[in-house]
Amino acid sequence: MAEVHQFQTKVSKLLKLLANSLYSNKEVFLREIVSNASDAIDKLRFAAISKPELTADDPSFSIRIRADKDAGTLTISDNGIGMTLEQANEHLGTIAQSGTEDFLENLSADDAKNAQQIGQFGVGFYSSFIVADRVTVISRAAGTAENEAVKWESDGSGTYTSELTTRAGRGTDVILHLKADETSFLEPWTLRSTITKYSDHISTPVYLWETRQKGDEEKDTVSEWVQVNDAKALWTIAPKEVTEEQYKEFYKHLTHDWEDPLAWAHNRVEGDLDYISLLYCPSRAPMDLYNRDLQKGLKLFVQRVFIMDRAEEFLPNYLRFVKGLVDTNDLPLNVSRELLQESRVAAKLKRALTRRSLDMFAKLSEDKEKYAAFWTQFGRVLKEGVVEDPDSRDAILKLLRFATTKEGAASETVSLADYVARMPEGQKNIYYIIASSREAAEGSPYLEVLRRKGVEVILLWERIDEWMMGSLEEFEGKKFISATAADLDLEGVKSESKDEAEKPAEGSREDDDKAVARFKAALGDKVEDVRVSTRLVDSASCVVGAHDQMLTQQMRMMLQAAGQQIPEEKYTLEVNLESPLVKKALAESDPDRFAEWAGVILDQALLSEQGSLKDPAGFLKRLNALLLG
């Protein structure tokens, strides 16, 4: 007797949606069902390594697809690993991960995309309900008896049934009872073209039951199994024989992504290390790129046999967005995740595949438009590599792109090589500024003298930047120097125009010293020191840290968020004696009023550096007092 089971609520919700509201790209159900058949065969191939008896009676693998117009059914059969009754209940009745929720949350107005994405969320099987109003699964697990097979069935409303049945051999039949208006999938031509598209790169033979004319009489026909793919693992084919279309379709099969990949690298290497790799860069970063639970890693094959999904040992963490596979003869067939972690071969492969990935990006960078898209999606995570992977640092530095102060280049980014190439004569260093936003970086008073001298400054405002710059010393012999550094080392730089040449100081040294002394006296222990600025042109003042190393606003926020005490910071105040505001302040002879001026000038500097003040009310009070004169 068949037992009736209730689907999990979230499965029911998903089924309702699939059955009623996906209108385009309906054919993806075939990709999903065929890909499950192919997975089942891969699993059995793997299991048979240690238990050859599992396949002894039926050693050749195949996927068979048969349409029955009279019955209105489409049946996809495989002789893979199969399922027991318990497994069918578990795998087809519940959803292990948060797949459905993720899928439902990700639904967009783009219907075509929705359908394409199904497989990504581990709910591919249910896509059969897009075209079927009843699905029957007959399955027998490899190594079980004939009468231990299972019949699972559902009409896609809230329940399914399952019961024991018999099946002649191991494997699974998925029988789709097509909806009345979806019978086009039974037409030979539609079926053949769809199947071909989705099975081209499957390394198991896929057969289609086809009927063809034999004699002159119309009913003089013959039916037979016709193989529709060449069943060769795509990555084992010489790269020059694989078409672009095939690479793209294979990528979609591998990742269930609905978009084309941005780039791929296919390498076959023999010798010291023996491997084939096919790596892909997606065109879009996954939403959970910064989430610990991100599913990352490559598919691992050993001697063409599928071993495991998401093997994480072959790429460093900062390349976690790279997809693809590696097939090697250098690992044993019984390799486990634990073994991989200690394997020297795996470590060597990791180095090799890291280089392959970085080469793939370097090649992509020849296409400006595509590389800009790549950079927007993955630039931030690539920066992690600068810190994480010192061995690859030089290669990564070449891939970095930066926004800079160069006029009219707001959307343009520059590589370090191009930055260095266009440095004005005499510039010895690479200058950068880190701020909390692009606007704050661009408007920073620290850039004034650099601007006047025509020195381009790299603008940085991402969380990762501070960390990255902390581990960067130089690029091609040029030092990285922060615009906030006490010594900017600009002596050699020729100014661009005459009137921008160094102006002789108006006042005397003695006047300067006096001015500085007045500020020091007025500000007392609010500052570490006061000095005359050489970096400011328009702004009245700025603050610099004691050791050039100031906490940036970001760092401060990170410390705060982590509940850490922010160290009491004292700055050196730099005043621009050419600034009208400072001149006006110095003209004030009353010490109390001058102290108010000095306070405002310090707060301005802090405000522009940090974006906020500890005592905004005090600042406003002082400012208002001065405004009211």
Residue 32 interacts with ligand ADP (CB under 6 A): yes or no: yes
Contacted by 37, from Mg ion, ligand ADP, none: CB < 5 to 8 Å by type: ligand ADP
CB 194 to ligand ADP: min, Å: 17
Contacted by 172, from ligand ADP, Mg ion, none: CB < 5 to 8 Å by type: ligand ADP
CB 128 to Mg ion: min, Å: 11
Query: What does the block give as tokens for 382?
Result: 């690539």
Residue 122 interacts with ligand ADP (CB under 6 A): yes or no: yes
Residue 80 interacts with ligand ADP (CB under 6 A): yes or no: yes
Residue 124 interacts with ligand ADP (CB under 6 A): yes or no: yes
- What letter represents residue 322's amino acid? V
Residue 575 interacts with ligand ADP (CB under 6 A): yes or no: no
Residue 80 interacts with Mg ion (CB under 5 A): yes or no: no
Written in H, E and C, the secondary structure of 293-313 is CCCCCEEEEECCEEEEEEEHH
List the beta strands (DSSP E) in 435-477.
457-460, 474-475
CB 96 to ligand ADP: min, Å: 8
Choose, by CB under 6 A, the member of 92, 138, 458, 543 that binds ligand ADP: 92
From the list 4-12, 33-41, 471-479, 532-540, the region that binds ligand ADP by CB under 6 A is: 33-41
Spell out a b/e string for 184-216, using b for 16 or more CB atoms within 10 Å of the CB, else e: ebbeeeebeebbebbbbbbbbbbbbbbeeeeee
Residue 37 interacts with ligand ADP (CB under 6 A): yes or no: yes
Contact 382, 399 (CB under 8 A): yes
From the list 30-38, 482-490, 574-582, 604-612, the region that binds ligand ADP by CB under 6 A is: 30-38
Residue 539 interacts with Mg ion (CB under 5 A): yes or no: no
From the list 35-43, 183-191, 360-368, 561-569, the region that binds ligand ADP by CB under 6 A is: 35-43
Residue 324 and residue 357: Cα distance in Å, rounded? Answer: 11
- Least Cα distance to 31 among 120, 99, 94, 98 occurs for 120
CB 123 to ligand ADP: min, Å: 5
Residue 457 interacts with ligand ADP (CB under 6 A): yes or no: no
- Least Cα distance to 380 among 464, 436, 320 occurs for 464
- What letter represents residue 157's amino acid? S
- Least Cα distance to 540 among 603, 613, 616 occurs for 603
Residue 335 interacts with ligand ADP (CB under 6 A): yes or no: no
Choose, by CB under 6 A, the member of 83, 233, 595, 606 that binds ligand ADP: 83
Residue 297 interacts with Mg ion (CB under 5 A): yes or no: no
From the list 116-124, 193-201, 363-371, 390-398, the region that binds ligand ADP by CB under 6 A is: 116-124
Q: Residue 275: beta bridge partners? A: 269, 328
Q: What three-state secondary structure class fits 472?
A: coil
Place of tokens 């078409």: 243
Q: What three-state secondary structure class fits 194?
A: helix
Count of residues engaged in binding ligand ADP, rule: CB under 6 A: 17
Which residue of the chain is nearest ligand ADP when measured via CB? Answer: 124
Residue 124 interacts with Mg ion (CB under 5 A): yes or no: yes
With a CB cutoff of 8 Å and minimum separation 6, the contacts of 77 are 37, 63, 64, 65, 66, 171, 172, 173, 174
Q: Residue 266: beta bridge partners? A: 278
Site for Mg ion in 370-429 (CB under 5 A): none
CB 404 to ligand ADP: min, Å: 45
Q: Residue 330: beta bridge partners? A: none
Residue 100 interacts with Mg ion (CB under 5 A): yes or no: no
Query: What does the block give as tokens for 409?
Result: 């280049």
Choose, by CB under 6 A, the member of 46, 61, 103, 125 that binds ligand ADP: 125
CB 99 to ligand ADP: min, Å: 8
CB 255 to Mg ion: min, Å: 12
With a CB cutoff of 8 Å and minimum separation 6, the contacts of 628 are none
From the list 1-9, 74-82, 297-305, 427-435, the region that binds ligand ADP by CB under 6 A is: 74-82
Residue 532 and residue 438: Cα distance in Å, rounded? Answer: 28
Query: What does the block give as tokens for 43?
Result: 């699993």
CB of 75 or CB of 576, closer to ligand ADP? 75
Contacted by 123, from Mg ion, ligand ADP, none: CB < 5 to 8 Å by type: ligand ADP
Q: Exposed, middle or buried by CB within 10 Å (0-12, 13-18, 19+), for 396?
A: buried
CB 120 to ligand ADP: min, Å: 9
Residue 599 interacts with Mg ion (CB under 5 A): yes or no: no
Q: What is the DSSP string of 579-614?
A: SHHHHHHHT---HHHHHHHHHHHHHHHHHHHHSS-S
CB 447 to Mg ion: min, Å: 54
From the list 21-29, 77-85, 277-285, 507-515, the region that binds ligand ADP by CB under 6 A is: 77-85
CB 92 to ligand ADP: min, Å: 6
Which helix (DSSP H) or strand (DSSP E) does residue 252 occupy? Answer: helix 244-255
For 497, phi then psi, to 5°, come to -130, 165
Choose, by CB under 5 A, the member of 15, 22, 30, 36 that binds Mg ion: 36
Residue 172 interacts with ligand ADP (CB under 6 A): yes or no: yes
Residue 465 and residue 387: Cα distance in Å, rounded? Answer: 10
List the beta strands (DSSP E) in 92-215.
132-140, 149-154, 159-165, 171-178, 206-213
Choose, by CB under 6 A, the member of 14, 44, 81, 208 that binds ligand ADP: 81
Query: What does the block give as tokens for 11?
Result: 């499965």
CB 558 to ligand ADP: min, Å: 37
Residue 120 interacts with Mg ion (CB under 5 A): yes or no: no
Residue 40 interacts with ligand ADP (CB under 6 A): yes or no: yes
For 396, phi then psi, to 5°, come to -70, -40
Name the site residues for ligand ADP (rule: CB under 6 A): 32, 36-37, 39-40, 78, 80-83, 91-92, 122-125, 172
Name the site residues for Mg ion (rule: CB under 5 A): 36, 124
